[in-house]
Structure 1
Amino acid sequence: MTIHLNPRGDIAVGQIVAYLPVLAVAGFLVARHGISRKSGWIFLVIVSLVRIVGGATEVASQQNPSDVTLATVSSTLTSAGVSPLLLATIGFLTTVCENTLSEDALIGTGLRLLSLLYTLALAIIIFGGVKMGNARSQSELNTGTTLRHVGAVVMAVLFVAMFLLHLVCWSNISRITKARRTLLAGISAALPFLLVRIAYTVLSAFAPYPRSFSATGQVITTTSDSPLAKFNTSTGSWQIYLLMSVLTEYATVVIYSIAGTRIRMDDDRPDYVKSATVEYDDERYRMGREQWPGARGQWGR
């Protein structure tokens, strides 16, 4: 049987193929660095699973266009990838600051603020989405749309807060352990791609909704000539979707995966600790030479 897919279906197949090896690497990183939520690595596994399952659901939906459930699940998973990426980034920033910068009251508060902003954004977006999906009138649909807009703006604020905190980490680089600097560099490399992905999320949230209610309360399908219509996750431009959502997500995941494989926890000591150790050893050597000046063979030449 021949399978006919539109461009979004082809993209879905590509995601399945691309994320299978990423899932294997992410699983290795979880085994290596830990499964805890605050470490961040588990969210690379989650985003990989979301993209693999989402891709399969999109293909199935296109083969069964009358199945509303498949279409709904596919649309939901299409928009779900950015959430685990944000959680991963928050977890990685927490790891970078752990045992050093996190002891600073301001930075510790900043880390907690990131988690709070994420929870707030996700709650508003989910509530708005449910409101839109269950709307029985134009008023309820408008309320859900407004909540979706607010949630997207909060998510943008979250990204700005993450970017600023990551700059604070760089300004205190000497206090960060060598192993965690590799992770910080990975965050810096991934943030430009994550920025584009967040921009797509915000623009898609403000894109016209392709459904409304008539004066008699009947659901009608609408079209719009708004420039934002091309950012709709379901009916918008597949080229923009590919460039601003699919590829940026994948680049972010790959960068984090590479950073994870390069981290060596045996280097997990900040410079000032290493410096103090070297100075202590030098001081012991000097005192030994002064106390036993004739024991050159013992202390070296």
Structure 2
Amino acid sequence: MGLPDRGIVAAVQLALYVPMVLLTLLLVFRHGFRRTSGWIFLAIFSIVRVAGAILIIILEKTANPSTGLFTAASIVVSIGLTPLFFATMGFLSTVAQRSDSPGMQAIGQHSKIFRILHLVIIVGMALVISATVGITSENSNSRKNSSSQRKAGGVLFLIVYIALVLIHGYCWVHRDEIRVHRRRLLIGISCALPFFLVRVLYTFLGALQTSPLSNFNPIFGSLALYTAMSVVMEFIIVLIYTTVGMMTPLDLDEEYPVKNEPQEYDAVPNGPGGQQYARA
């Protein structure tokens, strides 16, 4: 028996994200396991999408799926924005690393603004998970509260996106203070943000709907909207980030510092007639 259309989309996701898991793990080994690097969250996102695709395929092939299966599939599919947000924050932090500018150092991963955004993302994820569980609950109060939680989570995610766009814009204003190779990563973020907006809007518009069976529900809603605004957008974002990650040699910072950065020179002997200057 063949898969329904939603199951076919999940199968395509599975085929795309299994190799993407390997590629993102390669980037983790290449650029580092630290949370501040962002690559580990890109790998986590790919793993989450593999798990989500498997759950949807099981859901579509099960004649009478349990409430627990519905809930698990809905949660895994819905929390995808969280690792993408964390990855983008890590990449912005990487862009600002090793800059001598106080302004760029102020947007590091351990800065106050990033800590606040971390908290907002976690709260948003918790609200989305709670809302997803509430939708399938037999308790009428839980179902009623899930609507408010879903709206609050969608609003928080939109706020985080706007904040990341503003931080990204600040980096462009001060791009001359960024190490040469790290500017490629900034360009990658610029390319990904428009697709990121569509993905955030999918969650935000779904949060505004009063019914859990709205067109913007990833499990029960319109398959066309889900595929176009969520599945495709997410894969484009991951593809952009991984491509830029493969092309960005962060270990060459010392060889290629900030453009127009003043260099220090020492005078060295150059025979009896004068001096030759060499970089210190």
Q: TM-score, normalised by structure 1?
A: 0.81
Q: Paired residue for 1:238?
A: 223
Contact preservation (8 Å) 2:71, 2:136 = no
What is aligned with 2:273? 294
| Amino acid paired to 2:52 | G
Counterpart selection for 2:261 from 272, 275, 282: 275
The secondary structure found in structure 2 opposite 1:284 is strand
- Based on CA coordinates, which of the two structures has the bigger radius of gyration? 1
Q: Which residue of 1 aligns with 2:204?
A: 202
Question: Which residues in structure 2 correspond to 1:105-144 (within 5 Å)?
Answer: 107=107, 108-134=111-137, 136-137=139-140, 139-144=141-146
On the 8 A contact 2:10/2:57 being kept in 1, the answer is yes
Contact kept in structure 2, 1:207 and 1:232, CA below 8 Å: no
Distance of 1:235 and 1:295 partners within structure 2? 81
* Alpha-carbon distance between aligned partners in 2 of 1:166 and 1:179, rounded to the nearest angstrom: 16
Identity %: 35
- Checking the alignment, whether the CA contact within 8 Å between 1:65 and 1:71 is kept in structure 2 is no
Q: CA deviation at 1:299?
A: 7.8
- Mapped to 2, the partners of 1:46 and 1:33 lie a distance apart of 15
Secondary structure of the structure 1 residue equivalent to 2:261: helix
CA contact (8 A) 2:125 2:153 kept: yes
Tell me how far apart the structure 1 counterparts of residues 100 and 77 of structure 2 sit (CA, whole Å): 36
Q: In structure 1, what is the Cα distance between the partners aligned to 2:191 and 2:272?
A: 54
Provide the rounded CA distance (Å) in 2 between the counterparts of 1:237 and 1:122.
Answer: 23
> CA offsets, 1:256-292, max 9 Å, x none?
00011011123325426x6322xx23x637xx67xx6
Specify the alignment match of 1:66 in structure 2. 64
2:267 is paired with a residue of what secondary structure? helix
Query: What SS does the aligned partner of 1:247 have?
Result: helix
Q: 1:124 to 1:71 in 2, by over 3 A?
A: closer
Aligned twin of 2:11 = 13
State the number of aligned residues.
271
Say whether 1:97 aligns with 2:96.
yes
Equivalent residue, structure 1, for 2:181: 179
Structure with the bigger percentage of helix: 1
Q: Distance in 2 between matches of 1:112 and 1:293?
A: 60
Q: Distance in 2 between matches of 1:208 and 1:10?
A: 28
Q: Matches of 1:124 and 1:86 in 2, distance apart?
A: 16
- The range that moved more, 147-156 or 67-76, is 67-76
Secondary structure of the corresponding residue to residue 231 of structure 1: coil
SS at match of 1:209: coil
Is 1:266 paired with 2:251? Answer: yes
Offset from partner CA, 1:210-254 (integer Å, 9 cap, x none): 5xxxxxxxxxxxx7xxxxx22122221111111000000000000
* Change in CA separation of 1:101 and 1:284 when aligned onto 2, cut-off 3 Å: closer
State how far apart, in whole Å, the 2-side matches of 1:84 and 1:185 are. Answer: 20
1:9 partner amino acid: G
More displaced, 92-101 or 187-196? 92-101
Q: Is the 8 A contact 1:110 1:165 kept in 2?
A: no
2:34 touches 2:40 (CA, 8 Å); kept in 1? Answer: yes
- CA 1:102–1:129 in 2, change beyond 3 Å: closer, same or farther? farther
Alpha-carbon distance, 1:295 to partner: 4.9
Q: How far, CA to CA, are the matches of 1:91 and 1:175 in structure 2?
A: 18
- Distance across 2 between alignment mates of 1:50 and 1:140: 26
Shift of 1:124: 2.6
Contact map agreement 2:14 2:49 (CA 8 A) in 1 = yes
